[in-house]
Amino acid sequence: MALPEKYDGKSSDYRAWRTQRLKSAERSPGSAAQSITLTPELKHEQDPASLHKLCEIVREQGYALYQWSEQPENATTNVEQLHRAISLTQHDRGVVSDSASLSLLKDLSGTARGKYIPYTSQAMGWHTDGYYNDPKKTLRCFALHCIHPAATGGSLSLLDYELLLISLYDEDPDLVLLLSQNHCMKLPANKDDLGHDRPDRYASVFFNHADGSLGSRFTTRSKNISWISPDTRAAAERVNEIIASNSHWQHNIRLTAGQGVITRNILHRREAFSDDKKLPQRQMLRGRYLQTPQYAN
Ligand SMILES: [Fe+2]
């Protein structure tokens, strides 16, 4: 399906959007000017304005970084409270979860969950979360909150797919045409003893959400995808190269205890990490939602 005019690579609407997006890319959500401080229980009078700003940064730049003013007794409860406050209520836990809406990511190598890369200490390549999901359950947001960082490594890199789209148009508009075809990638069926059971699914790398905004599904784990044609496969390989060459638009963050990110499910990767037996394990709470964050007050 063709992308709407705003994302067509040539219309005046696209040119205006491109100019605006490149301007906002000059700011970094991780910078002091855009950092968001929140109280864990959201009881401070500044918190509503901070939540409003956080949602605006996510919409404009793909993600926002926040930090808590203090460490609460029960981080899970307060992270759930934060997510609810910004209208993240429809979660997609998958089959592995640790609370009503969150998963606790840590190195569980050697266990049943440790078959899945998020539950190991290994590096994870560029992807959007839930790229294999049913189209009716397209993820619009993933959020991470750090309870304990790793002893070494484990940083997160983020890249907004809106900037990737601009790069692809600048490089070769045919790449976008190939990657926005309906069903351009096949995500093979998966069934396992943890309860995953999904049929073959088809998706495109770039598509339009019902609200008119741009969406993306992608992974550099090429063994997880069959491409519709050799040209489409070649275009996907170019995407890998273009992501690597756009390091100026990548944001590298090593979350510390009490820090987190809220995103609109942009591209991201994780560096490998190692724990120190004398220190707490790396622990990250992850939420995945079918909505983008909104603050109504
Ligand atoms: Fe992820």
Distance 15 CA to ligand 1 centre (A): 31
pLDDT band at 22 (very low <50, low <70, confident <90, very high): very high
Note residues around ion ligand 1 (Cβ under 5 angstroms): 129
- Rg over alpha carbons for the chain, rounded to the nearest Å, is 19
Ligand 1 centroid to residue 251 C-alpha, Å: 15
Predicted confidence band of residue 101 (pLDDT cuts 50, 70, 90)? confident
Asked if 181 contacts 235 with a C-beta cutoff of 8 angstroms, the reply is no
What's the rounded Cα separation, in Å, for the pair 226 and 187?
A: 7
Per the model's pLDDT, the better-predicted residue between 1 and 28 turns out to be 28
Q: Which residues pair with 54 in a beta bridge?
A: none
Separation of 124 CA from ligand 1 center, angstroms? 8
CA of 43 to the centre of ligand 1 (A): 30
Q: How far is the CA of 129 from the centre of ligand 1 (A)?
A: 5
In the block, which residue shows the tokens 């290994």? 122
Q: What CA–CA distance (Å, rounded) separates 38 from 258?
A: 10
pLDDT the model gives residue 31: 82
What is the pLDDT, as a whole number, of residue 82?
98
For the purposes of burial, counting CB atoms within 10 Å of the CB of 211, is it exposed (0-12), middle (13-18) or buried (19 or more)?
A: exposed
- CA 102 to centroid of ligand 1, rounded, Å: 13
Mean pLDDT lowest for which of 99-103, 178-182, 211-215?
99-103
Give the tokens for residue 241: 């190269």
Question: Which of helix, strand or coil describes residue 106?
Answer: coil
Rounded to the nearest whole angstrom, what is the distance from the C-alpha of residue 225 to the centroid of ligand 1? Answer: 16
Query: Tokens in use for 16?
Result: 């205006």
279 or 112, which is more confident: 279
| Integer Cα distance of 157 and 286 in angstroms | 16
Distance 27 CA to ligand 1 centre (A): 23
> Which tens digits make up the pLDDT trace of 110-153?
998 888 899 999 999 999 999 988 888 999 999 999 999 999 99
Q: Indicate whether 224 pLDDT > 80.
A: no
Residue 78 in this model has a pLDDT that exceeds 70: yes
**Which position has the higher pLDDT, 35 or 107?**
107
Q: Percent of the chain beyond pLDDT 90? A: 79
**Helix or strand (DSSP H, E) at 229:** none
**Ligand 1 center–CA 128 separation, angstroms:** 6
- Three-class SS state of 286: strand
Angstrom distances, CA of residue 133 to CA of 189, 204, 237: 11, 12, 22
In angstroms, what is the span from residue 288 Cα to ligand 1's centroid?
9
- How far apart are the CA of 255 and the centre of ligand 1, in A? 15
Q: What is the pLDDT of residue 98?
A: 64
pLDDT confidence of residue 38? 97
What is the rounded end-to-end Cα distance, in angstroms, of the chain?
Answer: 36
What CA–CA distance (Å, rounded) separates 162 from 22? Answer: 10
CA of 212 to the centre of ligand 1 (A): 24
The alpha carbon of 64 and the centre of ligand 1 are apart by a number of angstroms equal to 16
In one-letter notation, the amino acid at residue 112 is A
CA 270 to ligand 1 center in whole angstroms = 8
Q: What distance in Å separates the CA atoms of residue 220 and residue 236, rounded to the nearest whole number?
A: 8
pLDDT for 95 beyond 60: no
Centre of ligand 1 to C-alpha 245, Å, is 21
Round to whole Å and give the CA distance between 295 and 50: 10
Exposed, middle or buried: residue 266 (CB in 10 Å: 0-12, 13-18, 19+)?
Answer: buried
Mean of the per-residue pLDDT values of the chain: 92
Query: With DSSP H G I counted as helix, E B as strand and the rest as coil, what are the percentages for the chain, rounded to 5?
Result: 30, 25, 45
The CA 252 to ligand 1 mean position distance, Å, reads 14
Whole-number Å distance between alpha carbons of 285 and 99: 10
CA of 12 to the centre of ligand 1 (A): 34
Ligand 1: centre distance to CA 93 (Å): 13
- The pLDDT, as a whole number, for residue 94 is 65
pLDDT digits (tens, 9 = 90+) for 203-219: 999 999 999 999 999 99
Distance 268 CA to ligand 1 centre (A): 6
More confident: 152 or 188: 152
Look up residue 284 and give its amino acid.
Answer: M
> What was the pLDDT predicted at 99?
67
- Over residues 283-292, the mean pLDDT reads 96
What are the backbone angles phi and psi of residue 136, rounded to the nearest 5°?
Answer: -75, -15
Please give the residue that has the higher pLDDT: either 99 or 49: 49
198 pLDDT higher than 90: no
CB count within 10 Å of CB 152 equals 13
The region that residue 153 occupies, defined by phi over 0 for left and psi between -120 and 50 for alpha, beta otherwise, is: left
- The pTM score is 0.94
Percent of the chain, pLDDT > 70? 96
